[in-house]
């Protein structure tokens, strides 16, 4: 009757021992797991010091110069009036295409027609005076001929007593006076002929002025500005007033960009250019440097030089005087080993060796142990975003640290 209770107590004791052993095993397992997690996390953080990396790769390295400028037509012509007067007619308006010789405007013609008529009448009077002078010369020459005959006859008759010496002297005097009259008549004829030439010049000028009342286009182009209206008075005494501004061939345009003196050394004729305008902010246009002008401009102490850039404008979407933001390619290398410029500025913590020479640099790459390792490279062309690698201990595909980031971002490339 006493055995069952003893057996029951033993069973309960064994159960408690097994529960304690199981609990101890679970605690040991948990502790080992915690130690392992801490060790793994420590290695992960060593790997991770959270560096952002970029790959070394083959590609294009460009060094560019940025500037702003304005769009201009290849040829822009100001058309004005050389005469004063009222504008009688305007034949063209804004944006009208014109050809060389087309009539653009008319200055009131009546005053200039009257001047031309007056000049023509003065010329007719001068020519009539010439005719009179020529007739006078003919009369004087006839008088000379008669005086010469009388003188010759008296010289024959005087020795024979048929004429007196007094008569002979009178014929001599008449002959000499007729010759003097001829010289005077010829001088008057020359003066009259000079007057004819003067009146001819006056008439020619009057006709030219009359022609200037018709304002014509000097080029093939388009009217980009019209500055006057019919009925306005034009005053051209001191300077030529501008009536129209014409642009020739807007299928091509020029951009005059102002480049800082510190950048102008990298700009060469023929260099590739990309540019944008505010009218089409999502579109990039292309062109080439046409000319680097030597004349400098000094504004607020800043020296700039004008760079002329030629570009195509087949659809004529680019208008004169638009503001362009240009990017000029100063130097370019293709298919070269390149590294991000940020990698050249990056320093590991603690800082490693810096760049002692401008031709070399130290970059940092993730090593097998997870820590960053320094590598020395020789530099070539330094572009806007990347720099050419001439030689060194990095290859295409290697990752290089560019900046320290947050731990959750580690390993980004």
Tell me how many domains the chain contains: 4
Domain residues for the domain of 144 are: 109-212
The contacts of residue 182 (CB under 8 Å, 6+ apart) are 137, 140, 141, 144
Note the pLDDT of residue 323.
96
Note the pLDDT of residue 239.
80
Write the pLDDT tens digit of every residue in 6-31.
444 434 444 454 444 444 443 444 44
> Is the separation of the CB atoms in 83 and 208 below 8 Å?
no
Last residue of a domain, one of 265, 296, 331: 331
125 and 178 inside one domain: yes
* Residue 98 included in any domain: no
Residue 270 φ/ψ region, left for φ over 0, alpha for ψ in the -120 to 50 degree band, beta for the rest: left
CA dihedral of residues 166, 167, 169, 173 (deg, nearest 10): 140
Looking at residue 277, which CATH number applies to its domain? 2.40.30.170
348 and 398 inside one domain: yes
Note the pLDDT of residue 166.
76
Q: What is the residue-averaged pLDDT of the chain? A: 83
Note the pLDDT of residue 163.
65
* Residue 78 included in any domain: no
264 and 286 inside one domain: yes
199 and 269 inside one domain: no
317 and 345 inside one domain: no
198 and 124 inside one domain: yes
43 and 57 inside one domain: no
* Residue 374 included in any domain: yes
325 and 367 inside one domain: no
Angle value at C-alpha 191, between 185 and 192, nearest 5 degrees: 90
* Residue 175 included in any domain: yes
How many CA atoms within 13 Å lie on the side-chain side of 394? Answer: 34
* Residue 124 included in any domain: yes
118 and 184 inside one domain: yes
Looking at residue 347, which CATH number applies to its domain? 2.40.420.20
Name the nearest CA neighbour of 286 among 324, 319, 250: 324
The pLDDT profile of the chain, 413 residues, written as one tens digit per residue, is: 444 444 444 344 444 544 444 444 434 444 433 433 343 343 334 444 567 888 999 999 989 999 999 999 999 999 999 999 999 999 999 999 999 999 999 999 999 999 999 999 999 999 999 999 999 999 988 988 888 887 787 777 767 666 677 777 787 888 888 889 889 989 999 999 999 999 999 999 999 999 999 999 999 999 999 998 999 999 887 788 899 999 988 889 999 999 999 999 999 999 999 999 999 999 999 999 999 999 999 988 999 999 999 999 988 899 999 999 999 999 889 999 988 888 888 876 544 444 444 478 899 998 887 788 899 999 988 888 899 999 888 999 999 999 886 554 444 44
- The predicted model scores a pTM of 0.59
318 and 289 inside one domain: yes
295 and 350 inside one domain: no
196 and 184 inside one domain: yes
Note the pLDDT of residue 17.
43
* Residue 297 included in any domain: yes
Last residue of a domain, one of 285, 312, 331: 331
- Say which residue the tokens 């055995």 belong to: 3
């Amino acid at each position: 009757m006493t055995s069952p209770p003893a057996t029951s107590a033993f069973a309960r004791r064994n159960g408690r021992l097994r529960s304690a052993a199981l609990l101890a095993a679970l605690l040991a397992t948990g502790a080992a797991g915690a130690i392992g997690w801490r060790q793994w996390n420590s290695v992960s953080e060593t790997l991770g010091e959270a560096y952002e990396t970029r790959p070394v790769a083959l590609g294009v390295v460009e060094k560019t110069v940025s500037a702003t400028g304005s769009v201009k037509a290849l040829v822009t012509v100001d058309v004005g009036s050389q005469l004063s007067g009222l504008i009688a007619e305007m034949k063209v308006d804004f944006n009208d295409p014109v050809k060389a010789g087309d009539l653009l405007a008319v200055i009131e013609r009546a005053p200039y027609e009257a001047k031309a008529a007056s000049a023509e009448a003065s010329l007719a009077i001068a020519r009539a005076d010439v005719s009179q002078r020529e007739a006078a010369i003919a009369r004087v020459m006839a008088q000379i001929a008669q005086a010469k005959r009388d003188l010759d006859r008296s010289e024959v008759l005087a020795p024979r007593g048929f004429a007196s010496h007094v008569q002979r002297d009178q014929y001599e005097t008449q002959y000499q006076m007729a010759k003097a009259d001829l010289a005077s008549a010829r001088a008057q004829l020359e003066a009259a002929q000079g007057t004819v030439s003067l009146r001819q010049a006056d008439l020619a000028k009057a006709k030219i002025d009359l022609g200037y009342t018709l304002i014509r286009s000097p080029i093939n182009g388009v009217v980009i500005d019209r500055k006057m209206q019919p009925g306005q008075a034009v005053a051209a005494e001191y300077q030529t007033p501008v009536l129209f501004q014409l642009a020739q061939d807007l299928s091509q345009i020029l951009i005059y960009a102002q480049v800082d003196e510190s950048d102008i050394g990298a700009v060469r004729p023929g260099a590739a250019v990309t540019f944008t305008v505010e009218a089409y902010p999502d579109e990039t246009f292309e062109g080439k440097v046409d000319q680097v002008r030597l004349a400098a401009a000094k504004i607020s102490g800043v020296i700039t030089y004008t760079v002329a850039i030629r570009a195509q404008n087949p659809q004529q979407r680019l208008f004169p005087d638009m503001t362009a933001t240009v990017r000029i390619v100063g130097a370019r290398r293709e298919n070269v080993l390149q590294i991000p410029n940020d990698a050249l500025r990056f320093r590991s913590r603690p800082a490693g060796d810096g760049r002692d020479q401008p031709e070399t640099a130290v970059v940092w790459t993730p090593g097998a142990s997870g820590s960053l390792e320094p590598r020395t490279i020789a530099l070539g062309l330094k572009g806007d975003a990347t720099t050419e690698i001439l030689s060194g201990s990095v290859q295409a595909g290697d990752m290089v640290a560019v900046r320290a980031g947050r731990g959750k971002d580690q390993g980004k490339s």
